[in-house]
Amino acid sequence: MTEPVPILQMRGIDKQFPGVKALDGVDFRLFPGEVHALMGENGAGKSTLIKVLTGVYDIDAGAIELEGRPVAFSGPLAAQQAGISTVYQEVNLCANLSVAENIFIGREPRRFGRLQWRVMRREAERILASLDLDLDVSASLSAYSLAVQQMVAIARAVQVDAKVLILDEPTSSLDAGEVERLFGVMRRLKEQGIAILFVSHFLDQIYEISDRMTVLRNGTLVGEYLTRDLPQVELVGKMIGRELAALESLEDRRAAAEQADAAAPLVEADGLGRPGAIEPFSLTVREGEVLGLAGLLGSGRTEVARLLFGADHAGSGTLRVGGVPVRLRTPRAAVRHKLAYCSEDRRAEGIIPELTVRENLILALQAARGWTRPIARRKQDELVERYIKALDIRPADPDRPIANLSGGNQQKVLLARWLILQPRLLILDEPTRGIDVGAKAEIQRLVVELSDGGTAVLFISAELEEVLRLSHKIAVLRDRRMVAELDNDEQLTTDALTETIASGGRS
């Protein structure tokens, strides 16, 4: 196969931040009509590379060439005008405007200053049709799901005659069907000769869609590979720079499944439900048991967690903690019963970005004690130091604002926040979403340790493999209904689990 000419070429890119060399002599190239995955752990330099490319940052050394001509953009807008469009994880569109407007706003077709709505709608339909999307272009964008909104963002990006499309974690909040749709759109764009730079934490997705990948580690280039030549295990090895022993040692977890059955029930939900959110379900979590919750996005996983934690009021049913019936009116009440909940939305419902690691860490403990009994500084230091060490939170500086930490480390601080309270049941809602492989393995290992120590864990994750690896039992949700509860034995595979989700437990 003859190699075509790259449309984009970056050579020897250096980028220095105060105290950190974010990029060190990184080369990157992109060919027309390919999906190129940019791989690396958090902090490897992926975002920096994208920001350098789109002109958010200046480069200290190196050269960027677009179609053979050297370029340096003053900002994302200039990059977009040159044909490099970016679609971010968060949809940056106006949901109150129509689909057509979101594609065209700022570049609407006009005649004598008057907007030509008809032309705009027709063009929007044409562009969407070229992406195999059939939408009502005059409906407001908010009428559509996040996934469709993301595709409208892509339509907007390619409408400007884009040659290069950067997709920065577009799939992190999509469910499987939506991801498939997005991939369909990406394949269409590929056929049209657009070069796509794709960033995702989901390895399976990378392998499904990408042709080529560039791996970064600690700001340096590890290498460029054709996806079909690089098996997953090797890729992960290259990304984290060590073998996957950590992950593999967890593989055989299932043998322990039987013994947990004997333990005393800790939390028993009987017919617990909330109209409109989740149909009544019954669930028992035993001491030292890891109960996985599997199901698609929007199937009611978070709703179950919120009911158990008292964050929402149950419309029906009873809840017993340690055999005693309780009514959890507020999360505070749940905390008094030694339940803890790490919410799915780390940024909005978890961290307080302006506060330091220390302050974030002791927040729950302080709340449980009440504000009249402040925790002595020495006690704080001791606790914070212990947990920073135990969870390997990096950088190990308790007085750094938590906003400056990577996603994985923020997640660890949140975990530590609840672990200080020594909960009997820890509810983890998507604890590993959007964090790198290394941190993921550490969090998984922590779940195992907690369970061995007698803490019950309710583990919610969209990644079935992860649920299978960690859980003793798995409850399956579908369409806001609990459809099955399965023992995690040798017969249970991701395929079987997927089948249960798809069939709704009818078999």
Partner 1 sequence: MTTLTGRLRIGGQTIPRKYVPVLVTAGLFVAMFAAGSVRYEAFGTGQVILNVFVDNAFLLVVAVGMTFVILTGGIDLSVGSVVALSTMLAAVLLRDGWPVVAVIGLVLVVGAVLGLGMGAIVHYFEIQPFIVTLAGMFLARGLCYTIATDSIPITDPSFTAFAQATIPLGGELWITPSVVAGLVVVVVAAYVLHYTRLGRNVYAIGGSEQSALLMGLPVARTKIAVYTISGFCSALGGLLLSFYMLSGYGLHAVGMELDAIAAVVIGGTLLTGGSGYLLGTVLGVLVLGLIQTIISFEGTLSSWWTKIFIGALLFVFILLQRLISARRTGARST
Q: Which residue, 172 or 218, is less far from partner 1 as judged by CB? A: 172
The site map against partner 1 for 230-269 (x = CB under 8 A) is ----------------------------------------
Residue 493 CB contacts under 8 Å (≥ 6 apart), including other chains: 468
Kindly list the distances between the CA atom of residue 500 and the CA atoms of 17, 477, 484, in Å, as whole numbers in the listed order.
49, 9, 8
* Minimum CB distance to partner 1 smaller for 106 or for 370: 106
Report the residue number, 14 or 175, with the smaller CB distance to partner 1: 175
State both tokens at 53. 């490319």
| Closest CB to partner 1 among residues 93, 362 | 93
Q: What is the largest CA-CA distance in the chain?
A: 78
Q: Which residues from 141-170 bind partner 1, rule CB under 8 A?
A: 142-143, 156
DSSP strand E in 169-315: where?
A: 195-199, 212-217, 220-226, 265-274, 278-286, 290-294
Question: DSSP of 141-184, one letter per residue?
Answer: GGGS-HHHHHHHHHHHHHHTT-SEEEEESTTTT--HHHHHHHHH
Q: Please report whether residue 478 would count as binding partner 1 according to CB under 8 A.
A: no
Identify which of residues 247 and 477 has a Cβ nearer to partner 1 in the complex: 477
Strand partners, 265: 286
C-beta of 430 vs 436, nearer to partner 1: 430
- Considering only residues 89-118, where is the footprint of partner 1 by CB under 8 A? 92-97, 101, 105-106, 108, 110, 113-115, 117
DSSP code at position 196: E
C-beta of 68 vs 113, nearer to partner 1: 113
* Shortest CB 218 distance to partner 1, Å: 30
The answer to whether the Cα torsion of 246, 252, 256, 260 is positive or negative is: positive
Q: Does 342 bind partner 1 (CB under 8 A)?
A: no
Q: Report the C-alpha gap between 288 and 470 in whole angstroms.
A: 12
Contacts of 392 (CB under 8 A, 6+ apart): 412, 442
> Shortest approach of partner 1 to residue 432 CB, angstroms?
16
Count, residues near partner 1 per rule CB under 8 A:
30
Report the residue number, 37 or 308, with the smaller CB distance to partner 1.
Answer: 308
State the DSSP H helix or E strand holding residue 399, giving kind and residue range, or none if neither. Answer: none
DSSP code per residue over 4-56: ---SEEEEEEEEEETTEEEEEEEEEEE-TT-EEEEE--TTSSHHHHHHHHTTS
Beta strands in 238-387 (DSSP E): 265-274, 278-286, 290-294, 316-321, 324-326, 339-342
Q: Using the rule CB under 8 A, give the single segment among 14-22, 60-68, 139-147, 284-292 that binds partner 1.
A: 139-147
46 interacts with partner 1 by CB under 8 A: no
Amino acid 192 reads Q
Token digits of residue 393: 């939170």
Give the pair of three-digit tokens for residue 277: 């959110």
Regarding 400 and contact with partner 1 (CB under 8 A), the answer is no
- Give the span between the Cα atoms of 325 and 425, in whole angstroms: 16
Cβ(224)–Cβ(213) under 8 Å? yes
Q: How far is the CB of 461 from partner 1 (least distance, A)?
A: 13
Q: How far is the CB of 94 from partner 1 (least distance, A)?
A: 3
Confirm or reject binding of residue 301 to partner 1 (CB under 8 A). yes
Should residue 276 be labelled a site residue for partner 1 when binding is judged by CB under 8 A? Answer: yes
**What's the CA gap between 33 and 261, in Å, rounded?**
53
What string marks each residue from 66 to 85 as x (binds partner 1 by CB under 8 A) or -?
----------xx--x-----
Q: Cα(388)–Cα(397) distance, rounded to whole angstroms?
A: 9
Smallest gap from Cβ 96 to partner 1, in A, equals: 4
Question: Which helix (DSSP H) or strand (DSSP E) does residue 364 occupy?
Answer: helix 357-369
In terms of Cβ atoms closer than 10 Å to its own Cβ (0-12, 13-18, 19+), residue 452 is: exposed
**Binding string to partner 1 for residues 189 to 208, with x set by CB under 8 A, is what?**
--------------------
The one among 231, 298, 325, 374 contacting partner 1 by CB under 8 A: 298
3-state helix, strand, coil in the chain (%, to 5): 40, 25, 35
Binding status of residue 297 toward partner 1 by CB under 8 A: yes
Which one of 34, 303, 436, 442 is in contact with partner 1 (CB under 8 A)? 303
Residues 76, 86: Cα–Cα separation, whole Å: 8
What distance in Å separates the CA atoms of residue 334 and residue 24, rounded to the nearest whole number? Answer: 49
Minimum CB–partner distance for residue 156 and partner 1 (Å) = 8
Minimum separation from the CB atom of position 293 to partner 1 (A): 12
The correct pick among 200, 210, 302, 500 for binding partner 1 (CB under 8 A) is 302
In angstroms, how far is CA 272 from the centroid of its own chain?
Answer: 29
Q: Which CB sits closer to partner 1, 25 or 109? A: 109
Quickly count: other Cβ atoms within 10 Å of residue 99's Cβ. 27
Closest separation in Å from C-beta 93 to partner 1: 6
Q: Which stretch binds partner 1 (CB under 8 A): 252-260, 299-307, 409-417, 490-498?
A: 299-307
Residue 195 is which amino acid? A
Closest CB to partner 1 among residues 60, 108: 108
Q: List interacting residues with partner 1 (CB under 8 A).
A: 76-77, 80, 92-97, 101, 105-106, 108, 110, 113-115, 117, 139-140, 142-143, 156, 276, 297-298, 301-303, 344
